[in-house]
Structure 1
Amino acid sequence: MASGPDRRRGSRRPPQERREAFLDAAVVAIRRDGPTVSMEAMARQAGVTKPILYRLFDDRDGLLHALGERMAGQVIIEVTAALEQGSDGDPREMLRRAISAYVALIDDETEVYRFVTDQSGPRGPTVTGLSAEVARAIAVVLGEQLRAAGADSGAAEPWAFGIVGMVHLSGDWWVRNRTLPRDRLVTYLVDLLWDGFAGLAPPNREPRSATTTD
């Protein structure tokens, strides 16, 4: 909970600094009380009254939106760092690191993740919005790496959205069910993204052309 001096100086701090401090307190309350935590509990953790929270975020949806943006930023930092680290190495391992970084983050911050994604409203973040923000950032990194490899960088954006969509929804399913170990989930996703369904085809069957004529 905020200390007495911090509360007295709160009105003098820049609005953005106050917002970040309140978001820090909200995260503490969410981790403690779970995704259904009340605004009163978050305000109490910040050492302020609920009207002050409403003054900064308007309503619960405003707070959801701010926390969603923060979580998206954390995902982008972790995943793009994993992609960039793999630029000179094994691309399959690079893919594994990127997926593992995302799954690890929602595993470590499950309560905050569920607070952001379980609730919606006129301005609240949705699963689609959170994924799209991450995908756009990853598309930039993929485009750079495709160009560096002399490949068609036009694939970067659809690939990024497809990969993030699949990993996000699979991770969302996993974090709610946890019917298998985290590392196994990552392996399954890497195998599917890397090899597709080719491993299911009979060994002597010729691959089907992408374009066929009647």
Structure 2
Amino acid sequence: MSPGPVRRRPGRRSSQERRDRFLDAAVEAIRREGPTVSMEAIARQAGVTKPIVYRLFGDREGLLAALGQRMAGEIMAEVTAALEQGPADPKDMLRRAIRAYVTLIDTETEVYRFVTERTVGGATITGLAAEVARAIAVVLGEQLRAAGADSGAAEPWAFGIVGMVHLSGDWWVRTRTLPREQLVTYLVDLLWDGFAALAPDDAAT
């Protein structure tokens, strides 16, 4: 008689499932209480004790890294979707990508600030930008090849663009000194035209 299918014992979940459920609870707690939320409040939201948190993530830095990776994935998904919406004017494609990025950190500001403000030396904010840039480089390379252009520019361009947009967005979510769409326009104009607007009219003569 052949053995029946292996069944998971009731109430048991894989380690990844538990981590995902805990991160969902952490996001809810951060949205409700802001970036200064305590680890105790996060554990309470998840219905566990702090030792369980350490078992899942190692320590507080492990939790921050896991949340940073999740946010990087969400940013990459939004920006990549914006770039892959179909044929478009290159400047419009740039605007869509920047708008997608800024919109996400605007709508998830508390989680973004929790991840970036509680990391010593800015390690997470740098890692977040690098992860996004690597993904954008792939998509940008495909776009350049499709246009018959030099795809070797994809990686340095991706890191340069993401670095600028990332730090500008980080400044913006903390200051809110101008409307979101105005920030997008300023960034697009700088990336598209550079500092040409500052050149005197007779510079080319």
Task: Give the TM-score normalised by structure 1.
Answer: 0.88
Which of 169, 177, 196 is the aligned partner of 1:198? 196
Cα deviation, 1:110-149, whole Å, max 9, x if unaligned, reads: 0100011112259x95211110000000000010110111
Residue pair 1:68, 1:125 contacting (<8 A) in 2 also: no
| Number of aligned residues | 196
Percent of aligned pairs with the same amino acid: 79
1:118 corresponds in structure 2 to 117
Which letter maps to 1:32? R
2:89 corresponds in structure 1 to 90
125-134 or 95-104: which moved more? 125-134
Query: For 1:195 and 1:175, how far apart are their aligned partners in 2?
Result: 25
- 1:109 has 2:108 as partner: yes
Residues 121/172 of structure 1: CA separation in 2 closer, same or farther (3 Å cut): closer
Query: For 1:138 and 1:80, how far apart are their aligned partners in 2?
Result: 7
2:65 corresponds in structure 1 to 65
For 1:1-214, what aligned pairs fall within 5 Å after superposition? 9=11, 12-86=12-86, 88-121=87-120, 125-206=123-204
- Displacement of 1:36 in angstroms is 1.4
Give ranges in structure 2 of 5+ residues lacking alignment: 1-9
Residues 196/103 of structure 1: CA separation in 2 closer, same or farther (3 Å cut): same
Residue pair 1:31, 1:111 contacting (<8 A) in 2 also: yes
Which letter maps to 1:94? M
1:4 corresponds in structure 2 to none
- Displacement of 1:83 in angstroms is 0.9
Which letter maps to 2:44? R
Which letter maps to 1:99? I
What's the secondary structure of 1:42's corresponding residue?
A: helix
- Displacement of 1:89 in angstroms is 1.2
Query: For 2:59 and 2:200, how far apart are their aligned partners in 1?
Result: 56
Which letter maps to 1:68? G
Which letter maps to 1:169? L
Residue pair 1:139, 1:160 contacting (<8 A) in 2 also: yes
Tell me the C-alpha RMSD between the 2 structures: 1.5
Query: For 1:131 and 1:89, how far apart are their aligned partners in 2?
Result: 25
Query: For 1:162 and 1:121, how far apart are their aligned partners in 2?
Result: 23
- Displacement of 1:85 in angstroms is 1.4
Residue pair 1:65, 1:125 contacting (<8 A) in 2 also: no
What's the secondary structure of 2:84's corresponding residue?
A: helix
- Displacement of 1:196 in angstroms is 0.5
Which letter maps to 2:111? V
Query: For 2:111 and 2:123, how far apart are their aligned partners in 1?
Result: 13
Q: Which stretches of structure 1, 4 residues or longer, exceed 6 Å deviation after superposition? A: none
2:5 corresponds in structure 1 to none
Cα deviation, 1:73-102, whole Å, max 9, x if unaligned, reads: 00000001111114x111111111100000
Residue pair 1:116, 1:125 contacting (<8 A) in 2 also: no
Give ranges in structure 1 of 5+ residues lacking alignment: 1-7, 208-214
